[in-house]
Structure 1
């Protein structure tokens, strides 16, 4: 059994109802006049400054440098949400346990602020961006208005990681 469906367009309904004013053509844009009070001949204002391109956190800390930081081979990068740039590298399933994370956004600043509120112990590190603060297995720094956090997960003495974390942060700051 075949069923036929009839669709009536609002334009057809208006025509059948005997509207006295002409109907616009389907798909036509109808305007009742300018939306603002500016004269039509006014020159357009300067275009707003283009927003900076979003950062690529994985490019800021490439895999080879993440592996140097961890001191072990890592699986390929896993980028995070582009609106809050981040990147993670993890050790292979067969080990050893290792992970490197980088955050390059307002989330990095929030991460730092939460750790400050939790009263973590920080050491200021000169020469990395405009300000840099290091805690056990993590460093937070700001260059201009961009905040970056680099976190390392390893099953070793965290003091062994300090020079490598600072070296990674200097390299990333140089790319901003």
Structure 2
């Protein structure tokens, strides 16, 4: 019965695709082709490259936590492509808190490491964690999160608040 249903659905799904001849020959970028027991391909949605097990990266750090880290009020977080950004109002002191989750978090960590930045290992934060001036990187299972703070104060003053926030975020993964 499953094969008969698949045989009926495949032509119906093909009719929903772009009418361009080239588009009919190729799956869309958000479609994965999987093989059925009969060997015929079927299409199923695949995750986007910036997807994260957490979903919304703004759920990892609350606005109140971002304000505490920034030392000033911030606007509500804006979530875009695996990142969340909290910024201070234009009328206040300069401050910004950025959260990078999933692939974007890992990419940020990898870039900092490749640049030879001094990453200090942190104990008891997730499965793996590192601190550098203005940023903290952590991993729990396969999920990476990076938090970056932009603020006009000496970077060393931010080490403890970044470490404390990383511990909190690790419990949310």
- TM > 0.5: yes
Q: What is the match of residue 80 of structure 1?
A: 80
Q: What is the TM-score when the length of structure 2 is the normalising length?
A: 0.69
Q: What is the match of residue 97 of structure 2?
A: 100
Indicate the structure with greater strand content. 2
2:168 is the counterpart of 1:175: no
Q: What is the match of residue 68 of structure 1?
A: 68
2:130 is the counterpart of 1:133: yes
The structure with more radius of gyration: 1
Distance in 1 (CA, whole Å) between partners of 2:53 and 2:114 is 31
CA shift at 1:75, angstroms? 0.9
Q: What is the TM-score when the length of structure 1 is the normalising length?
A: 0.68
Q: What is the match of residue 114 of structure 2?
A: 117
Indicate the structure with greater helix content. 2
Answer yes or no: is the 8 Å Cα contact 2:52–2:101 preserved in 1: no
Q: What is the match of residue 21 of structure 2?
A: none
CA shift at 1:52, angstroms? 8.0
Answer yes or no: is the 8 Å Cα contact 2:83–2:104 preserved in 1: no
Runs of 4 or more consecutive aligned structure 1 residues displaced over 4 Å after TM superposition: 35-38, 51-54
Give 5+ residue unaligned stretches, structure 1. Answer: 1-27, 30-34, 39-50
C-alpha RMSD of the superposition: 2.4
CA shift at 1:76, angstroms? 1.1
Q: What is the match of residue 8 of structure 1?
A: none
Distance in 1 (CA, whole Å) between partners of 2:53 and 2:79 is 16
Partner SS state of residue 73, structure 2: coil
